[in-house]
Amino acid sequence: MRILIVEDDDAIAEPLAKGLARAGFQVDRVATGAEALAAAPADLVLLDLGLPDLDGYEVCRRLRASSDVPIIVVTARGEEVDRVVGLELGADDYVVKPFGIRELVARIRAVTRRTAPRPEAPAEPLRIGALEIDRRTHRVAVGEHDVALTRKEYDLLVFLAADPGAVRTREDIIDEVWDPHWYGPTKTLDVHIASLRRKLGDAGWIETVRGVGYRLGAVAAPA
């Protein structure tokens, strides 16, 4: 597995590359956003946000627009708003410095499992009210309007839509959509739920069951 480290600080990048190499990964390293965007395809990207040329968020957005490569943001920015922005731009995980190499390796392996190709989806689209999910093409629409989702938002919606009306506990959602060994904050789920509600255009699509979890409702198409 080849990992691309995008980090301009040699004091961080060099021991990180050595630690990942000892763990059995092939490692390439670049120091700028422009180099990251021009680099050969990798199996996973470790992306620092504080780059000297492009903002790390912009690099994340551009990588996600052109590729499904798993992205783990690695940064000193630990505020909730930074996590929210990174995840909404399509990052698969968010690690705050300082961190241990063993934790990072565990996160890399967890993200790799979550993003591995899945069996071919059924041909028949899911239809719930005005919502249509084509699992073969990953197209989501509400009425006549297509809805652009990140990979994780799509996975979350499909999980809820597989049994509309059923309450899905927070634990079940995280186990199935993220990973049974998820290391990140459970706030990540709330961020993705809020983003899904906004993109679907009506908060009624996803109902909160206080103290338990969430369920997918049905909303009629606008007249």
Answer yes or no: is 121 within a domain. Answer: no
| 123 vs 120, residue with greater confidence | 123
Q: Is a pLDDT exceeding 70 seen at residue 118?
A: no
Same domain, 91 and 175: no
Answer yes or no: is 135 within a domain. Answer: yes
CA 157 – CA 197 distance, rounded (Å) = 10
Q: Tens of pLDDT along 122-167?
A: 668 899 989 999 988 889 999 989 999 988 899 999 999 988 889 9
pLDDT at 171: 85
Answer yes or no: is 120 within a domain. Answer: no
Residue type, 168: R
Question: Where is the domain boundary, 115, 135, 168?
Answer: 115
pLDDT at 178: 74
Same domain, 80 and 17: yes
Number of domains in the chain: 2
Same domain, 32 and 95: yes
- Starting from the edge strand earliest in sequence, which strands make up the sheet with 213-216, in order? 168-169, 213-216, 206-209
Residue whose tokens read 């709330």: 190
Same domain, 110 and 137: no
| 174 vs 180, residue with greater confidence | 174
| 177 vs 7, residue with greater confidence | 7
Q: Looking at residue 169, which CATH number applies to its domain?
A: 1.10.10.10
- The residue range of the domain holding 186 is 126-216
N-terminal to C-terminal alpha carbon distance within the chain = 50
Q: Is a pLDDT exceeding 60 seen at residue 180?
A: no
Q: Is a pLDDT exceeding 90 seen at residue 30?
A: yes
pLDDT at 179: 63
| 185 vs 15, residue with greater confidence | 15
pLDDT at 107: 85
Q: Looking at residue 37, which CATH number applies to its domain?
A: 3.40.50.2300
Q: Is a pLDDT exceeding 50 seen at residue 223?
A: no
Residue 189 neighbours by CB distance under 10 Å = 20
CA 206 – CA 161 distance, rounded (Å) = 10
Mean pLDDT of 6-28: 94
